[in-house]
Amino acid sequence: MIPAAFDYVRAGSVDEAVRVLGERGEDAKVLAGGQSLIPLLRLRLSYPEVVVDVGRVEEMHGVREDGEHLVIGAMTTHAEVIDSDLVRTHCGLLSEATETVADPAVRHRGTFGGSLAHADPAGDLPAVALALDAEFVIAGSGGRRTVPAQGFFVDYLQTAVGADEVLVEVRLPKLGAGWGHRYEKFHRVAQSWAIVGVAAVVHRSNGSIDQARIGLTNMGPTPLRASAVEQALSGADVSGIGAAAEHAADDTSPASDLGGAADYRQHLARVLTRRAVSAAAGG
Amino acid sequence: MTETVERPLARENSVGQPLRRKEDARLVTGRTNWTDNIVLPGMLHMAVLRSPMAHARITRIDVSGALQRPGVVAAYSAADLGDANGSIPCVWPVTDDMVSPPHPCLAIDEVRYVGDAVAVVIAADRYAAADALEAIDVDYEPLPAVVEMPAALAEGSPLVHSESGTNKCYTWEFGGGDYEAAKAKADRVFTRHYVNQRLIPMAMEPRAVVANPTGPDGEITLWSATQIPHVLRVLLALVTGIPENKIRVIAPDVGGGFGSKLQLYREEVLAVVIANRLGRPLKWTESRSENAQVTHHGRDQLQEIELAVTNEGKILGLRVDLTANMGAYLHIITPGVPLLGAFMFNSIYKMEALSFTCTGVFTNTTPTDAYRGAGRPEATFAIERIMDDLAAELGVDPLELRRRNWITHEEFPYTTIAGLEYDSGNYEAATARAVELFDYDGLRAEQKARRERKDPVQLGIGVSTFTEMCGLAPSRVLGSLKYVAGGWEHATVRILPTGVVEVVTGTSPHGQGHVTAWSQIAADALGVDPSAVQVIHGDTGTSPYGMDSYGSRSLVVGGVALVQAAERVVEKAKVIAAHLLEADAADLEYKDGAFNVKGSPGSSKTIQEVAFEAFTAHNLPDGVEPTLQANSTLDPSTFSFPHGTHLCAVDIDTETGMTKIRTYVCVDDIGKVINPMIVEGQVHGGLAQGIAQALFEEAVYDDAGNLVTGSLVDYLVPAAPDLPHFTTDRTETPSTTNPLGVKGVGEAGTIASTPAVVNAVVDALRPFGVDDVRMACTPERVWRAINDAGSKGGDRAAEGTVAYGGATTESTAGGQGDGIEKTGGQA
Ligand SMILES: Cc1cc2nc3c(=O)[nH]c(=O)nc-3n(C[C@H](O)[C@H](O)[C@H](O)COP(=O)(O)OP(=O)(O)OC[C@H]3O[C@@H](n4cnc5c(N)ncnc54)[C@H](O)[C@@H]3O)c2cc1C
């Protein structure tokens, strides 16, 4: 439980971090809250030669408004997200889901950006980012680019962030009146990871659902959108939720592991989607 | 200088008061002495290279690469250590023909489980030692591994120890009465198979050792996070050949053990041997991963249990056939753990016959040994599970079935079919109180309503009326069971010249609060304030005699020894006081810490005054030795038999399989209570661990013998948010076999709670045709049990493909319902 030796660089700015990453390439790793990276180092499952700590990069911290968007710095901790009134008001799904992450100690170190960049399929926030239609601002040697949520999660523990890039911030469209949300996390003890999670935001007008976005946690190597459910819900009223939720496991390929076999996870996805959407729709 | 100034007011008894634990202020403010905190000048650090394979031949091992690494002082394989490598002894050879293979500290030629120690590196710091492990070259030639017990016992199985020619360690038989005769008389024979899964003890503090060979006159001191400093010293002397008087063992603050630190571990031997060889202090601290992998595991039994009963549910006979997993090697009491349960399957029930067989089996897994309750939780689980299952089969309320069979309070003392004399108990009273607190009838009514309206959340009610044997143990009984040591305990009480009290105990607390409880006992015995009592423990240098702490023994054996020693101090003081008061000793009475001459008020001596006289020795009666102190070494005459009734109600979400405990009530009878707050803590912690076995914890190996649940991500230890509010109460039936009237409480909660919870889960699911759910009762298992009637116990794979066999109900010829074999006078 002792990491192999590595060099440590504390970056003062995004540019400095990007420069070091560019020089050291695959041998370098960004260090955010360390709640995923440090265990990997300690178990010697990861052997970076240099760790680039972005914890002191001012612009990567905090939550701000930018017109119709909330902008959350990648280094904003889970605890800060939970405490943010802006997040609670405009993206309540994120507050709700972040409260279920790990335990208070982990939430005071672990970061929003770190969770997304790490992209653990059992992590709660990737599916939430999908449901919230997040945009990811990534800095590299060639400047900054913005990647939509649908293009961000590439494969198991793999995102659009390249080895020489840094995730700077995440932009979330504010959800206004008429939107409801629910994160249904299914896990066995309070501080454990999700076996399956369902993140739902639902917009109702005139009694029926006109928009729903649903993210699935741990239903495959990457977080997924439950598109078939979303389509089935469009224009439906609450009585149609049960039938729509039956599609929650369509086109999913969850793992079979200690947490549950694939068929059980697919069953859970259907049950939890029904519950999440019903709650989000206020029904 | 009036006498009254020095006289304390009539004191209140301290025993029975919820005195705050003396230990806690220091512990919760971090002013602690964990072994890993110890830093000595010139101290080196050890790291252990462990086998990545469950079974392999070591064809080559070369540690020289490690020696090239910075900071490395030495590196050893088994060959480098030679005879000093030593072998861990098993001190409980349960049968004459038990297979007891060598258990070398570093593996010789063959590794037998993942984590088996292969080599060590000694370096200037922990980091250098860990890094250098990677430079050791080992060639492994894989051998077939066997992980499951049925496979290990099958013809042609790979052998864990090929030289033994078998994976069977022993078969041990025991019984009372004539089981076949009881069976012939019975209306029904009810057979069940249960699985008591493997658990990882997971004490909060992992193990750690520091060995310092630079003591005076060649003495080596070993600090170890152990429950058994005294036993450890003896074993270290036997294994290393170092004279016992040159070894001092200290257990400083120890952060939990639950049996996992009731052990002689390889790292303890290696640290002593290597520190001696290098002449420098040496430290090793276990990582959490090592803790999961190589600190001994617990439970792991396949249980076949059979009741021969009348149609009215009267038990005539009980047959138990256990298969117990030893793991890859025998640790100090590995084979004996199931035997501690042998006497407890009959529990609180009267019957004519008992037949017990246990077969110990080697597999390529971490060795097992004692874990909180050691043998008794396994027994209680099986008997209490089958009682609920039988009640369901007979259509009788599970509490009523128990009433028809239990020993009534007028029948004590009662000699059970296992030959134990239960001194006292009142199962009716504890059950009546539990039923009242639980609102048993109200919950049954709600259960009925929910069943009728097919509520997706079903309610289940589980019962466990347990007893256990603890207070280990009468030495003669241990001898008759072939255990090589005794079960006595030692205490010394001294009143120092300044009048304060020193208590030396041979028990070795590691979280239980002995310092507080012993202070209360000594305070009352001597008539002083508990704050005037200092308790010394856990160091063979200052408390040379002891048998340490495990098996809920400390109070019922060590606490009673303390009372005896205190009484002897008072006896001696009385002789001195009589002399000083110029009175006849027979005319003195001892009260509130002072001797008074009966009928002559004002004429008295405090015990502190007497202690000072005993110190100066200027004016002692002839023949009385100076100093005021006494010893007691107490061998208990029998075991202690706490009991209680635990009732659990669960809500099961039948859509997801999730179980939530809704109400948990326990009424325990542990006799007299020294400190009710400490008792409450023991009960709560015990319940948490027993509930953990029922719902959360399970050590899982893959087919290749890798521990899949090797971290706390996968081995789910519940925390406060995962546990319900506990409603606890007590009835008090004092033990008649010790002067304090006490019974053990350290393991009771763990022993009782597991079957209460699983019974509740199964009870909720009976309408779905479910009669068992394998532990841990995960949501997935519950869901499968509901939805796949063929999945017996809720396991994923179809029956037969699960190597463990799952839990099945035997349905023999002519049986009507599952599990009932009809014999004799059919209904
Ligand atoms: C006991 C425990 C329980 C947990 N339970 C949960 C849970 O229930 N749900 C859940 O969602 N999570 C859980 N986590 C994970 C937690 O949320 C972590 O905080 C998170 O996964 C990683 O965030 P971090 O800031 O700690 O990132 P780090 O560990 O520092 O980094 C993780 C990875 O992301 C990369 N990275 C981080 N930041 C950036 C960046 N800005 N740009 C580019 N790359 C970056 C790192 O290089 C590294 O590869 C748990 C963690 C622990 C220790």
Dump pLDDT digits (tens) for B537-550. Answer: 999 999 999 999 99
Probe residue for ligand 1, chosen from A35, A78, A107, A112 as the CB with the greatest number of ligand atoms within 8 Å: A35
Which atom of ligand 1 sits closest to the CA of residue B712? 1
Dump pLDDT digits (tens) for A96-131. Answer: 999 999 999 999 999 999 999 999 999 999 999 999
For the cut 50, the answer to whether the pLDDT of residue B659 exceeds it is yes
The answer to whether B696 contacts chain A (CB < 8 Å) is yes
What's the gap in Å between the CA of B648 and the closest CA on chain A?
19
Residue range B816-825: average pLDDT?
Answer: 35
* Among the listed residues B623, B625, B622, the one whose alpha carbon sits nearest the alpha carbon of residue B614: B625
Please tell me the least confidently modeled range out of B373-382, B468-477, B705-714, B795-804. B795-804
Give me the helix-helix angle, A262-280 and B779-787, nearest 10°: 100
Mean pLDDT estimate for chain A: 96
Confidence tier at B429 by pLDDT (50, 70, 90): very high
Residue range A211-216: average pLDDT?
Answer: 97
> Using CA atoms, how far apart are residues B536 and B562, in angstroms rounded to an integer?
12
Which chain A residues contact residue B796 at CB under 8 A?
261
Interface test with A, best of B293, B655, B661 (most A CBs within 10 A): B655
* Among the listed residues A251, A269, A123, the one whose alpha carbon sits nearest the alpha carbon of residue A192: A123
* Cα–Cα–Cα angle for B201, B206, B207, rounded to 5 degrees: 105
CB atoms < 10 A from the CB of B712, how many?
Answer: 17
Residue range A235-245: average pLDDT?
Answer: 95
* Among the listed residues B481, B480, B489, B525, the one whose alpha carbon sits nearest the alpha carbon of residue B509: B489
Residue range B326-351: average pLDDT?
Answer: 97
Q: What's the gap in Å between A105 CA and the centre of ligand 1? A: 13
* Cα–Cα–Cα angle for A275, A276, A278, rounded to 5 degrees: 65
Q: Compute φ and ψ for B632, nearest 5 degrees.
A: -145, 135
For the cut 70, the answer to whether the pLDDT of residue B790 exceeds it is no
CATH fit for domain A7-53, picks 3.30.43.10, 3.40.50.970, 3.40.50.150, 3.40.50.1860: 3.30.43.10
Cβ atoms of B546 and B538 closer than 8 Å: no
What's the gap in Å between the CA of B59 and the closest CA on chain A?
26
For the cut 50, the answer to whether the pLDDT of residue B206 exceeds it is yes
**Side chain identity at residue A263, one-letter code:** D
Residue B466 host element (H or E): strand B457-467
Q: What is the pLDDT of residue B204?
A: 96
Which chain B residues contact residue A258 at CB under 8 A?
700, 708-709, 714
CB atoms < 10 A from the CB of A250, how many?
Answer: 15
Q: In the block, which residue shows the tokens 């400390």?
A: B554
CATH fit for domain A58-173, picks 3.40.50.10610, 1.10.1380.10, 3.30.465.10, 2.60.120.10: 3.30.465.10
> Using CA atoms, how far apart are residues B670 and B678, in angstroms rounded to an integer?
13
Q: What is the pLDDT of residue B821?
A: 38
Which chain A residues contact residue B791 at CB under 8 A?
none
The answer to whether B50 contacts chain A (CB < 8 Å) is no
Q: What residue's CA is closest to ligand 1, atom 2?
A: A102
What's the gap in Å between the CA of A144 and the closest CA on chain B?
36
> Using CA atoms, how far apart are residues B80 and B506, in angstroms rounded to an integer?
37
Cβ atoms of A160 and A117 closer than 8 Å: no
B-facing residues of A in 128-187 (CB < 8 A) are 186
CATH 3.30.390.50 placement within chain A: 179-281
B24-32+488-634 topology per CATH: Aldehyde Oxidoreductase; domain 4 (3.30.365)
> Using CA atoms, how far apart are residues B345 and B356, in angstroms rounded to an integer?
9
> Using CA atoms, how far apart are residues A74 and A134, in angstroms rounded to an integer?
13
Q: In the block, which residue shows the tokens 């508990």?
A: B530
Which residue of A186, A190, A192 is in closest CB contact with B656? Answer: A186
Percent over 70 (pLDDT), chain B: 95
Which chain A residues contact residue B716 at CB under 8 A?
188-189, 192
Cβ atoms of B687 and B464 closer than 8 Å: no
The architecture that CATH gives domain A179-281 is 2-Layer Sandwich (3.30)
CA dihedral angle for residue A238, residue A242, residue A244, residue A247, rounded to 10 degrees: 160
Q: What residue's CA is closest to ligand 1, atom 27?
A: A114
Q: What's the whole-model pTM score?
A: 0.95
For the cut 70, the answer to whether the pLDDT of residue B266 exceeds it is yes
Contact A268 B289 (CB under 8 A): no
Confidence tier at B68 by pLDDT (50, 70, 90): very high
CATH 3.30.465.10 placement within chain A: 58-173
Residue range B243-258: average pLDDT?
Answer: 97
Contact B131 A2 (CB under 8 A): yes
Q: DSSP letter at B539?
A: B
The architecture that CATH gives domain B298-472+638-791 is 2-Layer Sandwich (3.30)
* Among the listed residues A173, A35, A168, A179, the one whose alpha carbon sits nearest the alpha carbon of residue A101: A35
> Using CA atoms, how far apart are residues B531 and B518, in angstroms rounded to an integer?
11
For chain B, the domains span 24-32+488-634, 35-143+206-254+261-294, 298-472+638-791
Q: What is the pLDDT of residue B9?
A: 54
Residue range A227-233: average pLDDT?
Answer: 97
* Among the listed residues A244, A254, A246, the one whose alpha carbon sits nearest the alpha carbon of residue A223: A254
CATH 3.30.43.10 placement within chain A: 7-53
Cβ atoms of A196 and A265 closer than 8 Å: yes
CA B791 vs CA B472, B777, B788, B799: distances in Å: 41, 13, 5, 6
Higher-scoring residue by pLDDT: B564, B803: B564
**Side chain identity at residue A178, one-letter code:** G
For the cut 60, the answer to whether the pLDDT of residue B135 exceeds it is yes
> Using CA atoms, how far apart are residues A126 and A157, in angstroms rounded to an integer?
11
CATH fit for domain B35-143+206-254+261-294, picks 1.10.3760.10, 3.90.1170.50, 3.40.50.720, 3.30.930.10: 3.90.1170.50
What's the gap in Å between the CA of A251 and the closest CA on chain B?
21
DSSP for B350-394 reads --SEEEEEEEEEE-SSPPB---TTTTHHHHHHHHHHHHHHHHHHH
Q: What is the pLDDT of residue B600?
A: 87
**Side chain identity at residue B10, one-letter code:** A
Label the pairing between strands A28-31 and A50-53.
Answer: parallel
CA A225 vs CA A97, A214, A228, B51, B449: distances in Å: 16, 6, 9, 43, 40
Q: In the block, which residue shows the tokens 């190589």?
A: B294
Residue range B434-459: average pLDDT?
Answer: 98
The answer to whether B124 contacts chain A (CB < 8 Å) is no
Cβ atoms of B389 and B191 closer than 8 Å: no
Dump pLDDT digits (tens) for B632-652. Answer: 999 999 999 999 999 999 999
